[in-house]
Amino acid sequence: MNNTESIQCSVQDGVWHLCIARPEKRNALTMPMFAAIAEALKTADERDDVRCMLVTGAGEVFSAGHDLKAFDEWPQQPQDAVPSFLHAIADVRKPVVMAVHGSATGIGVTWLLHADWVVTSSDTVFRLPFIDLGIVPEAASTLLLQQAVGLPRAKRLLLGGEKFTGAEACEWGLVAEVSPAIDVAARAWERAKFLATKDPTILRRIKDWLHPSSEYHQRIDEEVIEINAAIGRRRRSMESMQ
């Protein structure tokens, strides 16, 4: 596995626990972290002793999304860290439970669209700030978000970049369950262990039908191409002003 101390993995009771552990930077994802998560998800999906995956974040928030300094490493080619991560989260065929607390931003939100059960608290703050970053959203969210919350809300969240709460996310259909903030992680563990007891063949068949990942890969690639182009335009503009 492509290990990094900021991505910690363990297995317990058939649950592969992946913890984003960079709390001093609000769990913002760097290129090594994107690569490590992609490899961890692929490894877990292939292991017979893993029946479910659980994703959590250390510290006060789930994830601040893509580390802004890591944008210096764009453009990204298909084999690079971010595209590999995006395709990996779409490819997972085992159940994925995610515990989201504090706040989630950018990829910390779009990743949830590929999960099977998301637990959060009513006061968790979510935001999709892509419009203000001058880039398009990623993770096939331009397809999946409208499926989850409806087209008018998807437009509001992606075109306006407005913050919304965990209570709203649950009401709109982005997350499955709201728990008191202190109980989010424990509740997510309960759900992951529960799903780990189910028939894995039937789980996979249901997930294949509900979440046909083959439909999302083309959009992921299109989004990455547009992000590359946007970052290229920004750099050329900055260079012309120097």
Tell whether 229 is covered by a domain.
yes
pTM: 0.94
CATH of the domain at 34: 3.90.226.10
The reported pLDDT for the residue numbered 241 is 77
Tell whether 192 is covered by a domain.
no
The reported pLDDT for the residue numbered 2 is 45
Tell whether 166 is covered by a domain.
yes
CA distance linking residue 97 with residue 185, whole number of Å = 10
Least confident range from 21-25, 129-133, 230-234: namely 230-234
Secondary element (H or E) of residue 198: none
Tell whether 191 is covered by a domain.
no
Q: Which domain holds residue 122?
A: 7-182+199-240
The reported pLDDT for the residue numbered 115 is 97
Count of alpha carbons within 13 angstroms of residue 85, beta-carbon side: 23
**How many domains does the structure of the chain reveal?**
1
How does strand 177-178 pair with strand 117-120? parallel
- Name the 3-class secondary structure at 55: strand
Tell whether 189 is covered by a domain.
no
The angle, 0 to 180 degrees and rounded to 10, between the axes of the packed helices 31-46 and 81-91 is: 30
Tell whether 146 is covered by a domain.
yes
Report, as an integer, the average pLDDT of 31-46. Answer: 97
Q: What is the pLDDT of residues 127-185, one digit of tens each?
A: 999 999 999 999 999 999 999 999 999 999 999 999 999 999 999 999 999 999 999 99
Tell whether 190 is covered by a domain.
no
pLDDT above 70: percentage of residues in the chain: 99
Tell whether 86 is covered by a domain.
yes
The mean of the pLDDT values for the chain is 95
The reported pLDDT for the residue numbered 213 is 81
